[in-house]
Structure 1
Amino acid sequence: MASSFLCLTLLFITIYSADGFRHYDLDRCVFNSTELKDIEFIQSYFYNKLEYIRFSSSLGKFVGYTEFGVKAAEHWNQDASLLASMRAQKEVYCQYNIGIEYQNALSKSAEPYVRLYSTTPHAGRHPAMLVCSVYDFYPKTIRVSWLRDGQEVLPDLTNEMEDGDWYYQTHSYLEDPPRPGEKISCKVEHASLKEPLIIDWDPSMPKSERNKIAIGASGLILGLVFFLAGFIYYSRKAKDPSMPESERNKIAIGAAGRTLGLIFSLAGLIYYRRKAKGRILVLTN
């Protein structure tokens, strides 16, 4: 993936003020690599927020933007030693500091963690949609797209946000669900990846979800067995006419407990079946 355009603003500001008027200059380094040819040094002069003159290493001279700035540029451009000093800042000032930035931060990257899953919105006309969530990547620039049978399509919605710890996350939504026999993929392109990461949507249920349903079904069957065994046992005991009232109360409490166990088993099965509807595929590069 091609390197993103980067701009480093080295804030070296000199401010003069008198009676509410302000004058200041700002030095900037604009670059997309550490190579000298990919760096531009810019020095701008402002008066009350209005830029009136600028030096650009790409032009190699001063350019005025106001009547006073044009006259000042004409005068300064006649000073060969001043122009030579300004042109040297591209290497002396920019390249030096850019090298430090690349070494400490800009060259670092973190590979994204990707989740591809379906979800059912709480409200809306779409019963379900696919979501491609990308977590914990750096730098911020990333491209997430969708493929339908190999053809790229635009997402219906994309949310980008900062984690607050130098990492970022983004969520891409595809509202039109896959049609039978159609191959849907999420494509992630990032500086940390040697090649684009393509994740195919698998409509089959993941093993973890199948295990949850199996556990829920087993709990239901076990609850039914205990309920039936207890019901038969206490029904036989209740037929004994000589049984004291206290024993009959115990039978009633036992039957209520078995019924409550059955209810919890059914609730567990329903819960796991609903969870299984959100089919999740988790992949990393």
Structure 2
Amino acid sequence: MSALRSYGPAVGKGCTPGGSWATRFISFLVMGGLLLTDLLDWDATIFVYYTEWTFLLALVYFALGTVISAYGCWLSSKNPAASENAKNSVPMKRDVEDIGTAATSITYMEDESTSAVSLQSHSAEEAILERAGFWGYLMQIIYQTCAGAIVLTDIVFWCLIVPFLSNTHLGLNALMGCIHSFNAVFIVLDTLLNNLPFPWFRIAYFVQWSCIYAIFQWIIHACGFTWWPYSFLELDTPWAPLWYFLVAVIHIPCYGIYALIFKAKNTIFPRLFPRAFVRSF
């Protein structure tokens, strides 16, 4: 999987690299504004929450995606696709033989155009792999980690914390609702437009991300932090092993839910955009 797919749109004719750049840049601005507002309303202690960790990670993804998409736009401007005007130069006559000849000519020109675009895409791919390859692959890892983590945070927030576990440390207000909604909206929108893969083995990064957060909680509590942001993470209860086991297991359906979204895109979009859709793998 090349870094070229990091900026390439899934719907080639419906969304240009510039469209991908604009979407990611707007997502970055909106999410950055929400995070800054949350930080000003409270303080840096908001980062004891897994939600804020994931939100910040998504912000990094959109920042990196904006830069890589801009680089893709620059490459596209240097290597524009072959013009389709040549197709219009083929005379279309009513005579059956002439129509057949014209159709053959059009097919030949389309093949030539496709070959030219393929060569240009291959050159762009090599350039990105050479200059931005590491960042492209890093972007993929962050994207796949964010996808599962966002599903996890939003499910826990809306289905568990809001109805049952709200407390004085959780500011349940419109801002929190936006944070736990826009993160999913923007990452799903990006999934619909991007051409990044979503393999199952990358669930390992999602699990590692959650493990890092759990270790962080253990460390700050060992250093004297007095309250737990999520009561099911408390270690001094007899149910702690069960809670931790359930939290570990829930990573599988959370990642699976996003894998279904990814699969639905690859199933539905080819029918809606049969000539424009570029399938992700």
| TM-score range for the pair, normalised by the shorter chain length | under 0.3
Structure 1 length as normaliser, TM-score?
0.24
**Which one has a larger percent helix, Structure 1 or Structure 2?**
2
Larger RCO: 1 or 2 (CA < 8 Å, sep 6+): 2
